[in-house]
Amino acid sequence: MELLKMQNVSFSYRDKQILHDLNLSVKNGEFVTILGPSGSGKSTIFQLIGGIQTPYMGSIILEGEEITGDRGHISYMPQSPSLLPWRTIIQNVLLGQELQAKKDYKKADEMLQRAGLLEYRNAYPHELSGGMKQRVAFLRALLSPQPIICLDEPFSALDELTRQEMQLWLLSIWEQYKKTIIFVTHNIEEALFLSDRIFVLSAKPARIKQEVVVPFLRPRDEEMLFTGEFLQHKKMIHDLLRKG
Ligand SMILES: Nc1ncnc2c1ncn2[C@@H]1O[C@H](COP(=O)(O)OP(=O)(O)O)[C@@H](O)[C@H]1O
Ligand SMILES: [Mg+2]
């Protein structure tokens, strides 16, 4: 059963065509990545899924219901962690549950524990490093009631080693909770390392140029990055993007 579908979605911004007849679908529990160069329309796709923008054609369907132009159905994590500075870490983690009658402190504490952040439970965001803040923002997204988490290039500002560390951490947490993730990146290696499937965007106006099913078993580790099969896939996707 498809959890989310974008059907024949076209979008333009001030007369400029950004997306043209874009189709994609995501299944429950999947980790999918939308891959394309800067300016190709990746964040725009999230704005459409999140109802911040409305396509001039096509529809967005969540659990069988049309949600085109509706807000609040997905949990969105922007590039910078955006924690509220006047709230403690536990209160930030539970922010997505603001409208729920009873906040799930037990689960939040369990997640903080697993993320190695329990000792910062009552600290404020300025007491945490950049990477720790990002983990908190991610836990918040995981605990939100929405069925899908959208992650917009969360690791692009990190150095190579920290990025790999965060990717491994993200996978380990995701494998425990199996919430559906749509991830956006311009980094081929990152897309291959994390995803079940990759949607490769075409040159402007963007549509899905190809869907790549990632064959690598889970759990994944860094050794995978140096195998022949990984490099082959990397080259294949590189060539796809090159041709536009
Ligand atoms: N607010 C905006 N101001 C100017 N251009 C925009 C705006 N929103 C979207 N665009 C246009 O949409 C294109 C896609 O943008 P975006 O979705 O942010 O790309 P990506 O996230 O892949 O880098 C850009 O190349 C730009 O021309
Ligand atoms: Mg973007």
Return the residue whose CA atom lies nearest to atom 5 of ligand 1: 13
When computed from its CA atoms, the radius of gyration of the chain, rounded to whole angstroms, is: 18
Q: What is the pLDDT of residue 148?
A: 96
225 φ/ψ angles, rounded to the nearest 5 degrees: -65, -20
Nearest 5 degrees, angle CA 5-CA 45-CA 71? 75
Centre of ligand 2 to C-alpha 28, Å, is 24
Tens digit of each residue's pLDDT (9 = 90 or more) over 89-108: 999 999 888 767 788 999 99
Give the tokens for residue 131.
Answer: 């990477």
Give every residue of the chain whose pLDDT is below 70, as ranges.
Answer: 99
Side chain identity, residue 167: Q
Closest CA to 9 of 81, 74, 59, 52: 59
pTM above 0.75, yes or no: yes
Tens digit of each residue's pLDDT (9 = 90 or more) over 155-189: 988 888 889 999 999 999 999 888 999 999 999 99
Q: How far apart are the first and last CA of the chain?
A: 31
Please list the residues that pair with 7 across neighbouring strands: 59
Structural domains of the chain in order of their starting residue, each with its CATH number: 2-73+146-242 (3.40.50.300)
Centre of ligand 1 to C-alpha 39, Å, is 5
Q: What is the pLDDT of residue 178?
A: 86
